[in-house]
Amino acid sequence: MNSMHYLYAAYIATWLIHGSYLTILVRKYARVRREMERLRK
């Protein structure tokens, strides 16, 4: 594997980690909002 592959792997891994975390937060937030709506009714 040439060194550029390691460079791309590191950058992609960084964005995958941040992207996954943000996706988890957004999904949880949507679930909590739905629960709030249900409790309001």
Site membership for another protein, residue 39 (CB under 8 A): yes
Contact flag: residue 19 with another protein (CB under 8 A): no
SS3 at position 5: helix
Residue 3 found at the interface with another protein (CB under 8 A): yes
- What is the distance between the alpha carbons of residues 14 and 16, in angstroms, rounded to a whole number? 5
Helix (H, G, I), strand (E, B) or coil at 4: helix
Residues at the interface with another protein (CB under 8 A):
1, 3-4, 6-7, 9-11, 13-14, 17-18, 21-22, 25-26, 28-29, 32-33, 35-36, 39
